[in-house]
Chain A
Amino acid sequence: MDGRRGGAGHGMRRREWTMSAPSLGWLVVFFAIPTTYILVLSFRPANPLGGVGEGWSLESWRRVFQPEYYAIYARTAWISGAATAICLLLGTPVAYTMARAPARTRAWLLTLVVVPFWTNFLVRIFAWKVLLHPDGLIRHLFGALRLIGPEVSLLNRPEAVLLVLVYTYLPFAILPIYAAADSFDFGLLEAARDLGASRFSAIVRVFLPGIRRGLGVAALLVLIPALGSYLIPDLVGGTRSVMVGNKITQRAFTDRNWPEAAALASLLTVAVFVPLLAVLRRPGSEAGR
């Protein structure tokens, strides 16, 4: 806000164009056009030899609404939803602790949360593949405690995907909740307690509404990438945990049926934008700008 806004003359307008053109042009060519193009491709017929055929067709859209896909959509939805719920449930107390900690402890906690966030994605997944492996630590531990029988595998099941999703995206959830909790006035909690609220109801009725914007952003930051998961089910999920992202890859690379891959990708785009708009459009929300 520098008082130079609006009332732009010709020179001003030209400067704005010169400064915006490079990034705007780049993003239009390599983001906006490819993303829109996917939708166009989904209405083309598949070429039996791989790739895209001539003319137009609704075949791909008919196919993605076949019952054989429903189990995959349902699985994608429940795994992503559960991952989001668990991340909020674990992230909120962590963010609360961070916001109430003394400055030095807080800086340490922040760093400790940020490091896994920056650790290579493949390395993090691989670490769990090692831990859950039949010869791995957790398997040995559970076996020794007789919690699970020798025939039970911890890998290659949807629960493994859920676990690794939570591991991967929990830092993404903690940071926005912490940012919201950091600007929350904790005096309000004292006030609620003085007025006779129990600790629990003070948290639920004062603290949680106070940080709801942070919770909304946190939910999006988990839900959106979770809906688009591809690598985690691919590496720890096995055949019983296939999600939409895996199907897109399979259609694109294995079957080379690009229109169907494009139709699936378009569906996923819709699935991602619905919660996004729901959170961003909520009255009183200032997310965005």
Chain B
Amino acid sequence: MKAGWLPRVTTLLVLVFFYLPILILVLGSFNTSRTIGVRGDFTLQWYVRLVRDRNVMEALSTSLQIGAVVTLLSTVLGTVAALALHRFRTRMQRIHYGLVYAPVVVPDVLMGISLLLFFASVGFRLGRASIVLAHVTFCLSYVALVVLARLQEFDETLMEAAYDLGATRTQAVVRVLLPLLGPGILAGALLAFTISLDDFVITFFVAGPGATTLPISVYSMIRYGRPPVIYALSTVLIALTFVSVWMVQRATQRRTPA
């Protein structure tokens, strides 16, 4: 039985639906007209303005710094969590797995409000530190799940072989397990970095008045005007998405050689 025409047409329409808005933004970013749909000439002026926009650049730098710390912390915590989850099958690990999984499922608003009220109640000052703590909480889950998926493909006999050949546990982990797990950990780290850089809702709750990340700055641009500059910024972010999707796919697709 051949696939009918209806699913294929739907697929095509869905792809148009996915990419039309993105395309419009990208086109708008190179156009002199302030409103999209009105024809204008080619220009790079919005990009020039974007680069000269001190608020955006400062927000970007804040986001990158937060993202770097979050990636480091959540990659270590997430990888160790995945190793524990893979290695042991006890009741404690069932609870552990539930806790790792929950932040992925719970809506952002709920996590944001509960962290805000928690920080406020214990008297923790809102700012970059509270953003980092919040981001690590959900990023470590994504890292753990990606690394765990990779571990499930891992051939345990390789570790046994290393032990038989006289390797200590540390040697076996450092020289056998980690190199094979490397692409998985890298994919997890990239994921954590992207999610941290992207998050608006939870950050908005726990940022306090002092810290402005890139998404928070984009949000106020959307709310309070300056459209063409946002087109340029959006295009940059979309381009970054393409690059990181490509990198994650490369990292995860280089599976054990066939």
Contacts and interface: CB of A to CB of B under 8 A. Distances in A.
A97 B198 CA distance: 30
A115 B22 CA distance: 11
B25 A126 contact: yes
Interface residues of A, number: 90
Contacts of A65: none
Contact of B222 (A94, A100, A109, A126): A126
A148 interface: no
B10 interface: yes
B102 interface: yes
Contacts of A220: 105
Contact of A37 (B19, B117, B201): B117
Nearest to B93: A20
A23 B109 contact: no
Interface in A37-63: 37-38, 41, 51-52
B117 A34 contact: yes
A193 B1 contact: yes
B137 A30 contact: yes
Contacts of A24: 81, 92, 95-96, 99
Interface in B186-222: 194, 198, 200-201, 205, 215, 218-219, 222
A274 to B, nearest CB: 13
A186 B136 CA distance: 42
Contacts of B109: 228-230, 245, 248-249, 265, 268
Contacts of B162: none
B54 to A, nearest CB: 20
B238 interface: yes
A82 interface: no
A231 interface: yes
Interface in A1-20: 2, 4-6, 8, 16, 19-20
Residue in A114, A121, A220 with the greatest tally of chain B CB atoms within 10 Å: A121
Contacts of B43: none
Interface majority SS (helix, strand, loop, mixed), chain B: helix
B224 interface: no
B133 to A, nearest CB: 6
Given A94-B7, A128-B21, A235 B137 contact: no
Nearest to A24: B96
A189 interface: yes
B100 A23 contact: yes
Contacts of B241: 115, 118-120
Nearest to A124: B21
Residue in A90, A127, A262 with the greatest tally of chain B CB atoms within 10 Å: A127
A131 interface: yes
Interface string A110-122: 0111111011111
B169 to A, nearest CB: 10
B117 A23 contact: no
A41 to B, nearest CB: 6
Interface string B1-33: 101101110110011011111101100100000
A109 B97 contact: no
A19 B107 contact: no
Interface stretch (B34-42, B44-52, B176-184): B34-42
Contacts of B10: 90, 93-94, 97
A27 B137 contact: yes
B16 to A, nearest CB: 11
Contact of B194 (A51, A118, A137, A265): A118
Contacts of B24: 127, 130-131, 137
B174 interface: no
A272 B1 contact: no
B120 A31 contact: no
Contacts of B205: 252
B134 interface: yes
Given A16-B92, A122-B218, A112 B18 contact: yes
Contacts of B200: 121-122, 231
Given A26-B140, A276-B105, 10 more contacts: A20-B84, A23-B100, A33-B118, A34-B117, A109-B11, A115-B241, A122-B200, A127-B25, A229-B109, A268-B109
8 contacts: A5-B89, A94-B11, A112-B19, A126-B222, A127-B234, A189-B1, A231-B201, A268-B107
8 pairs of A and B residues whose beta carbons are closest in the complex: A228-B107, A127-B21, A23-B81, A34-B118, A93-B7, A19-B84, A34-B114, A93-B10
